Amino acid sequence: MKMKKKAFLILRNNSLFIKMFLIMVISIVAVSLLITFSSIRMSSNLFMDTFSISNTKALEQIETRFEDYSFAIVNAMNEVQNNGTIKKVLTQQNESAIETSKSYHDISRQIERIYPTVEAYDANMIVLGRNERLYNMNYSNWPVSWEVLRNHPITEATFNEPNRLLYQFMPSTSFNDKPMLVATKALMERSTGEIYGVLYFPIREEDWKELYEGYTSTENKVLLVDRTGKIVSSNQEEMIGQETPELLSLAKEVENEEVEFKDVQVFDTDYLLMSQYLPTYDLYLVNLVDKDAVLENLINTKEILLISLGIVLLAVIVVFIISRRMTNSISRLVKQISTIAKYDFNKPVAETGGYEAKKIANAFNYMLNELQEYVDLVVQAEQKQRSAELMALQHQINPHFLYNTLASIKFMVQQGKQEKATDMIHALISLLQNALSNVDQTITVEQEITDLKNYVLINQARYGNGIKVNFFISPDCLDCQLPKLILQPFIENAFFHAFNEKKEGFVQILVSQKHGNLVCEIVDNGDGMEIKGDHTKEDIKEKRHLFSGIGIRNVHERIQMIYGEEYGVEITSNKGEGTKVKVELPIQKLDPAPKSNEITSIQE
């Protein structure tokens, strides 16, 4: 607890330094972070632009290699298409064994002559005839039989588009252990358009990959995507054969929008995508660059952050020293001012420290001197005004009230009503004693009610019992303290102004405790009145009351002056229905008294 209190005092005494220091540190850190991240971003953007240009050129070189391979395939295909010997062998029927042997020898010589055109690419060459003849230049590359190849989907696709050179993807199967890319072309009789065979150029995907593998890396992926969105080749072997319609759509967007690259998110990673359509193959050549991986290798973010952190720490240390020197003198000055406010308001502060602190201390000392003189004058004026008010209140008993009361007593004596006259004299004596004593003192609710009963007794003796007065006092309120003459003006107001039209009625005085306050209510069923706005001042005419001269407004202002603005008088009234006065005060007691839930009811 002591440590917590000590820490709180340290924070409070150094609040100015802490605020200045925090503002400077936050500013330095914010500027450093903005500069650091701005530099990283600019470097990243510059590098990605440069990288995209170099990758675009790399894609062009890859495309050139693909075109070279395609050119070799086309040359070999044309030689086969134009070779009469091959056509003759593939169209002959019902040959003898000798003729078949001779035909095989002739076609083998022709194919061996043509095959070197594509052999440099490790591609195979297979010729299939309608007469069930199959010639495979590299059986180990694709050990396929005539029956399997004749009914294969790639052969059917070739028959469906006999005029096109098709490049088709073939996944690994039981008879081709590696995925392949197969170029196929139907061999047709030019005059009749009759298909007499099919030419196949299968190349394994791993051999095809050599055309572009020199341009790839872990963060730089190259993919070939066919018209269905299937990846037919990639430097990432696990991607081969995957269906990626989203990637195909993005590649088409790049091609259609004619942009060099596009930021995309595929395979749950952010990439820079470049794409190029290869019409010869009917494939999209896609280049995916992993931006984060590339930038991580290019920019040492950790090193940059460490350098920035070092600069920030150095700046913070400098700021700490400067701020501390600036605020020390001001903190000492604040501490002295706080001590003065608590203990000795007359003691001037020491004019030490920097120029600013000295000027502030000097101005503060001058203000103290002026303020002390003004306070002394205000205190003296308040004391004089208070004394004058008390003296005026003590002599505010209206002489007409005394004259009329004494006249009533004289009349009672003459009528022989000595006992009633005696009671009236006792009531008057008690009323005058309390009114003329020190009105600055508070009295109990019980004493105030006694005075009110005496006042009611005098008025009922003079004017009759047409106005009944009932007192409902909660016993737990009898010992509560309240200022003198707080309720009497409202009883007097009820007697002399509430029953001008009505000649009879009642007045009820209720005193109770509500919500921690002492609530006194004076309710009558007299003539009532129309009240607008503030129910305590403007709409209630200031009347000089016959007994004390204290008006309703004076009571309200007196309560607020003593207890605060949350207390005072509230008046509600309706024409012809009566008036209700509510006086709310804080509960104050000198001696605690036992509480009771019973209500005392006395009728006068």
Average pLDDT over residues 517-546: 68
Task: Report residue 511's pLDDT band, with 50, 70 and 90 as the boundaries.
Answer: very high
3-state secondary structure of 230: strand
Q: How many residues does the chain have?
A: 604
**Structural domain contains residue 38:** no
**Structural domain contains residue 17:** no
Average pLDDT over residues 454-468: 85
Q: Which of 234-238, 315-319, 348-352, 449-453 has the lowest mean pLDDT?
A: 348-352
Specify the DSSP element, H or E, that contains 276: strand 269-278
Of 335, 370, 392, the one marking the end of a domain is: 392
**Structural domain contains residue 366:** yes
Cβ within 8 Å of residue 192, ≥6 positions away: none
> CB of 263 within 8 A of CB of 272?
yes
Task: Report residue 431's pLDDT band, with 50, 70 and 90 as the boundaries.
Answer: confident
pLDDT at 294: 67
- Looking at the structure, tell me whether residues 365 and 446 fall in a common domain: no
> CB of 572 within 8 A of CB of 580?
yes
Whether residue 591 is predicted with pLDDT greater than 70 in this model: the reply is: no
pLDDT at 97: 76
- Looking at the structure, tell me whether residues 425 and 462 fall in a common domain: yes
- Looking at the structure, tell me whether residues 408 and 448 fall in a common domain: yes
pLDDT at 221: 87
Please tell me the total count of domains within the chain: 3
Q: Which residue has the higher pLDDT, 119 or 601?
A: 119
Structure token pair of residue 527: 């003539």
Whether residue 113 is predicted with pLDDT greater than 80 in this model: the reply is: yes
**Structural domain contains residue 584:** yes
Dihedral pair phi/psi, residue 267, rounded to 5°: 55, 35
Question: Starting at the edge strand that comes first in sequence, how are the strands of the sheet with 134-136 ordered?
Answer: 134-136, 126-129, 195-204, 180-188, 166-170
**Structural domain contains residue 308:** no
Structure token pair of residue 275: 């794409």
Structure token pair of residue 595: 């509480």
Beta-carbon count within 10 A of 205 CB: 21
Task: Report residue 583's pLDDT band, with 50, 70 and 90 as the boundaries.
Answer: very high
**Structural domain contains residue 331:** no
- Looking at the structure, tell me whether residues 349 and 479 fall in a common domain: no
- Looking at the structure, tell me whether residues 99 and 181 fall in a common domain: yes
pLDDT at 339: 66
DSSP string, 158-199: HHHSTTS-EEEEE---SS-SS-EEEEEEEEE-TTT--EEEEE
β-strand partners of 521: 510, 582
- Looking at the structure, tell me whether residues 269 and 372 fall in a common domain: no
Task: Report residue 93's pLDDT band, with 50, 70 and 90 as the boundaries.
Answer: confident
Instruction: Tell me the CATH number at 192.
Output: 3.30.450.20
Which of 233-247, 509-523, 556-570 is the most confident on average?
509-523
- Looking at the structure, tell me whether residues 137 and 273 fall in a common domain: yes
pLDDT at 341: 57
**Structural domain contains residue 34:** no
> CB of 125 within 8 A of CB of 201?
yes
Segment 362-401, tens digit of pLDDT: 777 777 787 778 877 886 776 567 556 645 654 556 666 7
pLDDT at 539: 42
Average pLDDT over residues 209-216: 84
Instruction: Tell me the CATH number at 485.
Output: 3.30.565.10
Segment 138-196, tens digit of pLDDT: 887 888 888 888 888 999 999 999 999 999 998 887 666 788 899 999 999 888 888 99
Q: How far apart are CA 446 and CA 111, in angstroms?
A: 134
Average pLDDT over residues 26-33: 77
How many Cα atoms sit within 13 Å of 499 on the Cβ side? 19
pTM for this predicted structure? 0.46
Q: Which residue has the higher pLDDT, 51 or 308?
A: 308
- Looking at the structure, tell me whether residues 381 and 451 fall in a common domain: no
Q: Which residue has the higher pLDDT, 603 or 10?
A: 10
Task: Select from 505, 511, 559 the least CA-distant residue to 528.
Answer: 505
Task: Report residue 126's pLDDT band, with 50, 70 and 90 as the boundaries.
Answer: very high
How many Cα atoms sit within 13 Å of 319 on the Cβ side? 19
- Looking at the structure, tell me whether residues 210 and 273 fall in a common domain: yes
- Looking at the structure, tell me whether residues 291 and 378 fall in a common domain: no
- Looking at the structure, tell me whether residues 363 and 399 fall in a common domain: no
Buried/exposed code over 286-296 (b: 16+ C-beta within 10 A; e: otherwise): bbbbbbeebbe
Average pLDDT over residues 92-102: 77
- Quick one: CA torsion of 530, 532, 535, 540, rounded to 10 degrees? -60
**Structural domain contains residue 460:** yes
pLDDT at 165: 92
What percent of the chain is predicted at pLDDT more than 90?
A: 19
Segment 540-562, tens digit of pLDDT: 444 444 444 456 777 787 788 78
pLDDT at 389: 60
377 is in which domain, residue-wise?
344-392
Task: Report residue 603's pLDDT band, with 50, 70 and 90 as the boundaries.
Answer: very low
Task: Report residue 538's pLDDT band, with 50, 70 and 90 as the boundaries.
Answer: very low
Task: Report residue 261's pLDDT band, with 50, 70 and 90 as the boundaries.
Answer: confident
What percent of the chain is predicted at pLDDT more than 70?
A: 77
Whether residue 537 is predicted with pLDDT greater than 50 in this model: the reply is: no
Q: What value does the mean pLDDT of the chain take? A: 79
Q: How far apart are CA 80 and CA 69, in angstroms?
A: 17
pLDDT at 519: 95
- Looking at the structure, tell me whether residues 456 and 435 fall in a common domain: yes
Segment 467-505, tens digit of pLDDT: 899 999 999 999 999 888 788 888 888 888 888 888 889
Segment 272-312, tens digit of pLDDT: 888 889 988 889 999 888 877 766 665 566 776 777 778 87
